[in-house]
Structure 1
Amino acid sequence: MAGGSAAHAQTAALQEPATIEEEAAVAAAPPSGEVVVTARRRSENVQDVPLAISVIGGETLDAQGAYNISRLTQLQPTLQFFSTNPRNTFINIRGIGAPFGLTNDGFEQGVGIYVDQVYYNRIASATLDFVDVEQIEVLRGPQGTLYGKNTTAGAINITTRAPSFDFEGRAEVSAGNYGFKQGKLSVSGPLSDTLAARLSLSTTDRRGTIYNVTTDSWINSQDTLGLRGALLWKPAEDVRVTLSGDFNLQDPICCGQVYARVGTTQRALDRQYTALTALFPGYRVPSTNPFDRLTDLDADLAARNELGGASVRVEWDLGPGTLTSVTAWRYWDWGPKNDRDFTGLPIYTKVNNPTHQDQYTQELRYAYEAGKLDFVVGGFAFYQKNHTTGIQETGPAASAWLLAPSNPLSHNPAVLNGITAENDILLKNLSLAAFGKLNWHATDRLTISPGIRINYDKKEGRYDSVVTGTASDGTRQLITNDASHPYYGDPWTAAQRGTQSSQFFEPNFSDWNLSYDLNLSYDVAADVMAYATYARSFKTGGINLNGVPSRADGTPALEVAQIDPEKVDHFEVGVKSQFWGRRATLNVTGFWTRIKDFQASVISNISGSNVLRGYLANADAVRVRGIEADFSIRPSQRLSAYLNGAFTDHEFVKFVDAPCPPELAGGVNSPANCDVSGQWLPGISKWAFSWGTEYNVPAKVLDRDGQAYVGYDASYRSKFSSNASRSIYTDVDGYSLHNFRAGFRTDSFDLFGWVRNAFDENYFESLAVTPGNTGLISAQLADPRTWGGTVRFSF
């Protein structure tokens, strides 16, 4: 649905188009009539579901070029997506969902991602290009009863097109600037009277948009391949078995950031960026204007992301209900190479932490519907094994950059050159749950819907980092905090230990949790429904698996190895309405969410060293509240328009031991922590909007009847903070994006041109404080203006 709102999806309800051509005239929105969703684990009209839901149809995704989750943010104002590479990806709804700016295998997101009812545990494993998508439902607010423990912010429910017993096919080719090439193909049809198949392919390739002067190459490219296959077996009228499998590969030259600005920190002036770069005569950053799109990263870059899996879904109609079983296995292989110092200096020459994950899920549920009662009951089991085996290595510039000038060893490049950390990180994650949701139609207008879910979670981890360096006698030695080690007092080893040392610990976590909610809905009139919801939800606790700070004696601070669960209290009221013969739809939602023990990023300075250790901790409380409105109108088959908006007020209610922003950190007398109570949460804009329109007229081209059409879609976000604790250096200014398209289509053919970010808006997706608190701020840049054309066939 264009604009990403349920309201837009419903604009044309009960106005069935007379011809296929007329239906094509609204391809920027779902077909006319009811929009069916499965948000409550059964098929319903979206306007009858007392939840804040946005529905985005496959035609909208195609028309607006939203071919992965990152592009949904321009359609849905309260959906935020931040990514510096597939693994360092965060998806938030209404500003909550994942800690901002830190990747850690031992925690879980607060936005559940589901593809064909299969749960994707890691956001990185859901960064695939959409392949043959039927529709996407964005459920806003806690969904813990039916969707599980880690949906404190909401859920994204993706449904692909099912195999068809009628032969059909789709083909699409796009080309554009920056060498953009994209192809999609989908074919479906019967193999027998009871067996149907669908095979889909998607491939995308595009040159990078940032030029690396060191390697004479363009980086942050796109190079993706997606395959999906499905078999639908109907051995009887009341039984449906769907076997699905998919393979996805991303292998771009990626991912790098650019110089954004330099700020002043509390470090000694000779330990800040300007003085440090002066130690290397002849070094100059290629540009201090980030929108020149130049960088000089000297370490190898890679972001190979392979993921796939298989699932079996069995649906059996039993009496007045349906029994559903979903069994799935998924894997994720992540092969990165990064430049951790964000400069063209050989400070860190390798930062590579490849990861392999296997996950297994089993869900069994029964959905019953009869008379005044309907309900869903079920159970869910999840097991994940995540193994990371990485390496980090420093180069010849590390001594001057990381050691204090007062240390005579800072002038010897050999001291820190070749420090190697070999990391072995293991996570085993088990989750079991039982759930139920009841809808009692107390009267013809009033429905009372309680729900409950009980969860058990267990995490077992291992963090083993073995660090070696070159001692002053030229031998390779372990860098350890163990004072009994024979080389502990060696001056070279001591300097290396102040930068990085070996660490080993085995954290674990287990807990039971209860989620519940109560929803009331009332049909005020034929096309007007009011509803209210209270939800008590949680996000499971976790373990820190990126290392933890060391105590004064050098042993790991295991008291911060565990992360407490988030506890969520959520209140929501809303009205869903249609009027003017259902040509117009207006849905309004107000919400108030308070989270206790909010999982937040913390960066801790290890006393007496240059080591910055990032880990997760719990903020006492945060609050997010606001109002959302989705409006759409289609006065005729020729014209449609939509406007969605959100106002979100957000703050740390209490967080007295937060990490300090860079301008307050790094000095001898700098506070160890800062009180950020009352400050903004990261990543949330106070105001966000999306809007657009499409107009078409009858036309004939090459003796073919169809429509000529023009479309316009836009979005706006106001200023937001891009650091865990708000900094004067990392606020991202507000920006607006404007996209246009124009073309000709019939019932089986569509040819159109498009331009995205038409006014070439220069804006940051995010800003980040680089390691070491030198004052260097790096930027993740969004796409510049892109343009191209698409031709699409159906048969």
Structure 2
Amino acid sequence: MTPTLTLLLALQIATPPADVQAPGSQAPASPAPASAVPASQATDQTGGEGATTGRTGPAIASPGGDIVVTARRRSESVQTVPIAVSVIGGTALAETGTYNVSRLTQIQPTLQFYSTNPRNSAANIRGLGAPFGLTNDGIEQGVGIYVDQVYYSRIASATFDFTDTERIEVLRGPQGTLYGKNTTAGAINIITRKPSFTPEARVELSGGNLDFFQGKASASGPLVDDKVAIRLSASVTTRRGTIYNVRQDEWQNSQDNKGVRAQILWRASPNLDLTLSGDYARQNPNCCVQYYARVGTTQRPLNRQYAALAAAQGYQVPSTNAFDRLTDVDTDLRAKQELGGLSLLADWDLGGATLTSVSAWRFWHWDPSNDRDFIGLPITTVSANPSQQSQVSQELRIASNGQRTLDYVLGAFYFYQTIDTQGLQVQGPAASAFLLNPTSAGGRNPATLDGLTARNTIGFKNTSAALFGKLTWHVDDRLSIAPGLRLNYDEKSGSYLSVVTTGSGSTNLTSDQRGVLAPQRYDPRFHNWNLSGDLTISYQFTPDVFYYATYARSYKSGGINLSGLPLDAANQPILASATVKPEKVNHFELGLKTRLADRRITLNLAGFWTVIDDYQATVTNGQLGVLRGYLANAGRVRTRGIELDSAFRPTDRLNVYANAAFTDAKYVRFTDAPCPPELSGGSAATVANPPSPAGRPGTSTQPSYSPANCDISGQWLPGVSKWAFSYGAEYQLPASAVGLDGNFYAGYDGSYRSKFSSNPSRSLYTDINGYSLSNVRLGYREGGKWNAFAWVRNVFDKDYFELLATQSGSTGLIVGQPGDPRTYGVTVSRSF
């Protein structure tokens, strides 16, 4: 094996399958000069770019070889980079079926991704990043998404299919002193293939069950000799839905994605590269449905629990087994989005340093339609929040070239974003029965809520600016000390106007109507300066044993509530809830990176302890009008854990990897949290009437009483498993087929996640049991040109939920979103 057999060495903690260049293949033509290599570009010591055309499986560097990355804005051996980082190459993405961010979780144990539709998506690392629940635009994500160094402000705008992707890097822990935006949990860097001065092209076609089709193509070459090169790429993904709607006679939760990307590289001078990029993607699936999963008893009166309410309407769901994959929701579903933008990347080699400028404009347009009562009764007949988002950003950075006694990265970052949202919610004729007390006059009359409509006009402006830098002092050949500092300013302003009308168009509302949809108007504001930093000490004990220790003090910007506020006794919004304070993060990490057996074995270990004060949590309460929940500050949360990565190459034919993550994430102090479903729905508890036992429904003679809030200190953070694993192997056998010399190969990739909570306040009704998934592939590849393989994903057709949620109104209905069933198909790719 030669040193050019790259990417990846098992970098750090929970490394997924990585790419290795196939025997006989060539490194991508015309690599950029070292001073102009994009951030986090991986190379080996021979100077070739990280291969993305080879086989999957964690790479073990050959004797004498070394993998080099520039994750810290300069070239360094990956095994001496004091950052927890994992990398997945382009071929590994294709062979494992990882064509969007959500699928990364199966090969990244420390990454969690949850989505009920593109807008309501969240990416977390080590259990941190975004509060669990429906999206609130007024706060920022803790996991930064970067595509070719451009920051994407919303995870929703990063739910596209990967197009012409060279590799993806996942960095864990605060990343505020090296990257443009301050991200307190980590960053996901997506790096696309760059224009080449040697003509090349790639085509990849996949087909499978569920009418699955995916096509990807790219072409690159020179426009003007060795001065200007272009790269064009496109992708299409379509798939039939996995859930059948018996009422609408159609498959739902389908896929319908299209995307194009163009890049033009101008080598303006031997030391100056300019790259202009543009992209556009459109998704218009028949999506996204959640439906009946189970029923859990609340403290609501027995005749107002789900079973009694459904029986009174003469209603039954098509199946009480969610894995029959049947629904009858009566609102048309839509999850249409358009996104795209332009960026200009400039790299100027000044000799001793490289000056980099990243200028970008991006947009994201969202046009949804949801069924928020989750069943086939007309309770909420319209629930839609169309949104138009636009952002501009500018990053300017200078980084020293090569290693010297003192290396540095200094930068400035500016970001401006606007969001306009037009919300619409309409109640139907069954709403009164489900949402109102039947003992009241209004509760007995379907007309009370039928046609009740809330029209919400929401505006948001977000400005962020920062100065950041990191120095690395090489005390000697083994010891390095690297302090970093960041000065950040954030300003947010918003407007929220909800106009509520009755079915007849009147704005004169009864108390029953106001209790469901209340008119609101408020204009929240937030601004804040903060200073954060980190310190890393690393030591090269031997050429193949490396230690590091990091402390980071970081901040996640405060925010404003843009989904409606809780109401006081006079049904007026509680304005003190309009803003949330910044999160204050203290992070500690120890890491060990080792290579053994002539570098055929890599064992890496990291331990971390992160404490967050004023954690931003999603809160719900008994008020029906706050359907989406609002934001509040929890007292303190803590996540700690150990992450182990191992990769082995016992022979040149066999790759094996096994990665593990233990994550202990909990609320340390949250004394006024929302209560779980089993402690909700009853009359307000008082001193004279203390809270009733959990899950005991009220009766006419013995009502149940629910606490206004609950102390959930010590409980799990939602969405994170205590144990997570990824593991796999690939074996290849040299052979000739149809006149081509190549390799037959067989690969297996497995993953496991233990039980986790799917509710902000843990509930036995919404715990998701642990599950394991297995994927296999069998194929033939030749010289980096051809690759054809058959694949099966979720081989054992495991039934599992991606998430669970509750129906509004404490009815006890639990709805879910099942993971994909077994899928199978064939992929063929060709490089020219």
Secondary structure class of the residue paired with 2:448? coil
Amino acid at match of 1:617: A
Q: Report the counterpart of residue 161 of structure 1 in structure 2.
A: 193
CA contact (8 A) 1:262 1:273 kept: yes
Q: Distance in 1 between matches of 2:675 and 2:554?
A: 30
Q: Report the counterpart of residue 388 of structure 2 in structure 1.
A: 356
Deviations 1:142-170 (A, max 9, x none): 11212255411110111100000000110
1:532 and 2:549 correspond:
yes
1:667 and 2:672 correspond:
no
Q: Distance in 2 between matches of 1:691 and 1:233?
A: 42
Count of residues in correspondence between the two structures: 775
Q: Distance in 1 between matches of 2:294 and 2:101?
A: 29
CA contact (8 A) 2:15 2:645 kept: no
Bigger mean CA offset, 609-618 vs 728-737: 609-618
- Please give the residue correspondences for 1:242-641 in structure 2 after superposition, counting only pairs within 5 Å: 242-281=275-314, 283-369=315-401, 371-470=404-503, 475-478=504-507, 487=508, 493-606=510-623, 614-641=629-656
Structure 1: give runs of 5+ residues left out of the alignment: 479-486
Q: 1:504 to 1:9 in 2, by over 3 A?
A: closer
Amino acid at match of 1:785: R
- Please give the residue correspondences for 1:9-408 in structure 2 after superposition, counting only pairs within 5 Å: 19-20=24-25, 26-29=55-58, 34-148=66-180, 150-193=182-225, 194-281=227-314, 283-369=315-401, 371-408=404-441
Deviation at 1:613, TM superposition (A): 6.3
Secondary structure class of the residue paired with 1:555? coil
Deviation at 1:495, TM superposition (A): 2.6
Q: Distance in 1 between matches of 2:515 and 2:384?
A: 22
Bigger mean CA offset, 498-507 vs 40-49: 40-49
Runs (4 or more) in structure 1 with deviation over 6 Å come to: 1-4, 7-13, 21-25
Q: 1:3 to 1:620 in 2, by over 3 A?
A: farther
Secondary structure class of the residue paired with 1:47? helix
Deviations 1:92-129 (A, max 9, x none): 00011100012111011100010000000100001110
Q: 1:532 to 1:667 in 2, by over 3 A?
A: same
Structure 2: give runs of 5+ residues left out of the alignment: 1-6, 28-50, 684-704
Deviation at 1:583, TM superposition (A): 1.1
Deviations 1:12-40 (A, max 9, x none): 99x99763399976344569654443322
CA RMSD, Structure 1 to Structure 2 (Å): 2.0
Q: Report the counterpart of residue 742 of structure 1 in structure 2.
A: 778
1:705 and 2:705 correspond:
no
Deviations 1:715-749 (A, max 9, x none): 00000011000001011000000000001110211
Q: 1:334 to 1:12 in 2, by over 3 A?
A: closer
CA contact (8 A) 2:17 2:56 kept: no
Q: Distance in 1 between matches of 2:716 and 2:14?
A: 31
Deviation at 1:496, TM superposition (A): 1.5
* TM-score, length of structure 2 as denominator length: 0.91
Secondary structure class of the residue paired with 2:629? strand
Deviations 1:232-264 (A, max 9, x none): 000111000000010011110000012110001
Q: Report the counterpart of residue 794 of structure 1 in structure 2.
A: 831
Deviation at 1:2, TM superposition (A): 8.1
The percentage of aligned residue pairs carrying the same residue is 59
CA contact (8 A) 2:418 2:461 kept: yes
Q: Distance in 1 between matches of 2:55 and 2:304?
A: 60
Q: 1:729 to 1:148 in 2, by over 3 A?
A: farther
Amino acid at match of 2:433: A
Secondary structure class of the residue paired with 1:277? helix
Deviations 1:600-634 (A, max 9, x none): 1111224xx77656111011101100100110011
- Please give the residue correspondences for 1:688-767 in structure 2 after superposition, counting only pairs within 5 Å: 688-747=724-783, 748-767=785-804
Deviations 1:412-461 (A, max 9, x none): 32221111111110000000000010010011100000000010000000
Q: Distance in 2 between matches of 1:397 and 1:697?
A: 64
Q: Distance in 2 between matches of 1:402 and 1:216?
A: 28
Q: Distance in 2 between matches of 1:79 and 1:517?
A: 23
Secondary structure class of the residue paired with 2:442? helix
Secondary structure class of the residue paired with 1:620? strand
CA contact (8 A) 2:422 2:455 kept: yes
CA contact (8 A) 2:565 2:626 kept: no
Q: 1:92 to 1:3 in 2, by over 3 A?
A: farther
CA contact (8 A) 1:300 1:350 kept: no
* Aligned with 2:806 (options 769, 776, 779): 769
Q: Distance in 2 between matches of 1:265 and 1:5?
A: 47
Q: Distance in 1 between matches of 2:242 and 2:223?
A: 45
Q: Distance in 1 between matches of 2:545 and 2:795?
A: 38
Q: 1:8 to 1:660 in 2, by over 3 A?
A: closer
CA contact (8 A) 1:531 1:575 kept: yes
CA contact (8 A) 1:610 1:772 kept: no
Q: 1:567 to 1:623 in 2, by over 3 A?
A: same
CA contact (8 A) 1:424 1:463 kept: yes
CA contact (8 A) 1:149 1:538 kept: no
Secondary structure class of the residue paired with 2:516? coil
Q: Report the counterpart of residue 665 of structure 2 in structure 1.
A: 650
